[in-house]
Amino acid sequence: MVRVGIVGIGFMGWIHWLAYQRSEGIEVGAIATRDAAKRRGDWTGIRGNFGPPGTQVDLEGVQAYEDLSKLVADPNIDVVDICLPPHMHYEAASLAFAHGKHVFCEKPLAVSLEDCDRLVAAAREADRQLLVGHVLPFFPEFAAARELVESGEFGRPIGGSFKRLISDPTWLSDFYDARQVGGPVVDLHVHDAHFIRALFGMPSGVTAVGRMRGEVVESFQAVFRFADSQVTVGATGGVINSQGRPFTHGFELQLERATLQFELAAFSDGQVEIMPLKILTADGEVRRPDLGPHDDIDGFVGEMSELRRAIETGEPSGLLGGSLARDAIAICHAVTQSVVTGGEVAVG
């Protein structure tokens, strides 16, 4: 049994908790939070933009620490699950490695590329695994697309467009802080940057246009350059000036012999409109794969299953690995630099 300690009991800590409750072979052995009520199991104040609201939870058998230093020193904990604000990821993960723990860090790995590089190096030096909570590849539509690419049934991926837009998150006071959260590119587009990197490899450059809000990009459109000039990939992301559509994402993924299409949009009136995943084959067939019933937590359950597999086998995770997460941040910063400079920027 893999035993996890969750650091930070906010919205993502709650979502991770729910996923662990549904998972086999992995369980929560400890939590760390400065909130005394949460240490007693009162999580009723937790709210988010998906999933169920927080409730009273049973912490019997779970150690509840006020301080991170005590959790990372707990000999019964194998993995430290970091659900703190992004600017706190580096310090928390470094402390966990220093105590010989594996690290599972909610995305983004860190706000700065330099901190990402330091954490990848720290994991290597400690001989511990660094895994990052990029859950998007485990959502049903994205998982189906990834599996189809890996199967090779329709050839290799040769292009695509990816979209991820939200309304202004007015409840987050530091969302546009370049050092605390990183803004829409680092906090939001990082999902698609990670998925693009996983499907196509590392782009060599990016050209992007967009609007700035202070030091961060508010909204952008980007085109990525790859070593193979036949690969054409673009992305749209950021914040729209309308609370009427708080969230939308989707993709059109081009393979050599098929195109995959999916989009979802949530609206402020409570309605969710979905263009289900379709596979449009070169010979004119339209396939509509049955992805089965699923809810907001299922993708995270898949993520925890991969976390358990990686820790139990000692084999690094191809999707949750720290190096891939580091590359996603490199892509995000290159997008920002391109918007600022108005020209193509190399991705490093």
- 143 and 288 within one domain: yes
Integer Cα distance of 335 and 344 in angstroms: 9
So what's the pLDDT on residue 348? 86
Residue 107 placed within a domain: yes
**How confident is the model over 46-83, as pLDDT tens digits?**
877 777 889 999 999 999 999 999 999 999 999 999 99
Q: Which of 43-52, 104-113, 221-230 has the lowest mean pLDDT?
A: 43-52
Domain residue limits at 35: 2-134+307-320
What pTM, to 2 d.p., does this model score?
A: 0.96
Residue 268 placed within a domain: yes
**How confident is the model over 237-270, as pLDDT tens digits?**
999 999 999 999 999 999 999 999 999 999 999 9
Residue 241 placed within a domain: yes
Q: Looking at residue 311, what DSSP letter applies?
A: H
Integer Cα distance of 326 and 20 in angstroms: 25
Give the pLDDT band (50/70/90) at residue 104: very high
- 42 and 116 within one domain: yes
Residue 302 placed within a domain: no
- 152 and 285 within one domain: yes
**How confident is the model over 119-144, as pLDDT tens digits?**
999 999 999 999 999 999 999 999 99
Element (H, E) at 217: strand 216-225
- 189 and 264 within one domain: yes
Averaged confidence pLDDT in the chain: 96
Residue 108 placed within a domain: yes
So what's the pLDDT on residue 263? 98
Selection from 220, 115, 239 nearest residue 176 by Cα = 239
Phi, psi of 282 (to 5 degrees): -65, -25
Whichever domain contains 48, its CATH number is 3.40.50.720
Helices (H), the chain: 11-22, 36-39, 68-72, 89-98, 113-126, 140-151, 183-184, 190-200, 298-313, 322-341
Residue 280 placed within a domain: yes
So what's the pLDDT on residue 3? 98
So what's the pLDDT on residue 12? 94
- 27 and 149 within one domain: no
- 188 and 336 within one domain: yes
How many separate domains does the chain show? 2
- 288 and 246 within one domain: yes
- 191 and 127 within one domain: no
Peptide bond into 169 cis (omega under 30): no
So what's the pLDDT on residue 120? 98
Sequence-ordered list of residues with C-beta below 8 angstroms from that of 302, at least 6 positions apart, any chain: 138, 143
So what's the pLDDT on residue 303? 97
**How confident is the model over 277-311, as pLDDT tens digits?**
999 999 999 999 999 988 889 999 999 999 999 99
- 38 and 6 within one domain: yes
- 88 and 6 within one domain: yes
Whichever domain contains 287, its CATH number is 3.30.360.10
- 176 and 285 within one domain: yes
- 251 and 166 within one domain: yes
Sequence-ordered list of residues with C-beta below 8 angstroms from that of 313, at least 6 positions apart, any chain: none
Place of tokens 């310090």: 91
Residue 301 placed within a domain: no
Residue 298 placed within a domain: no
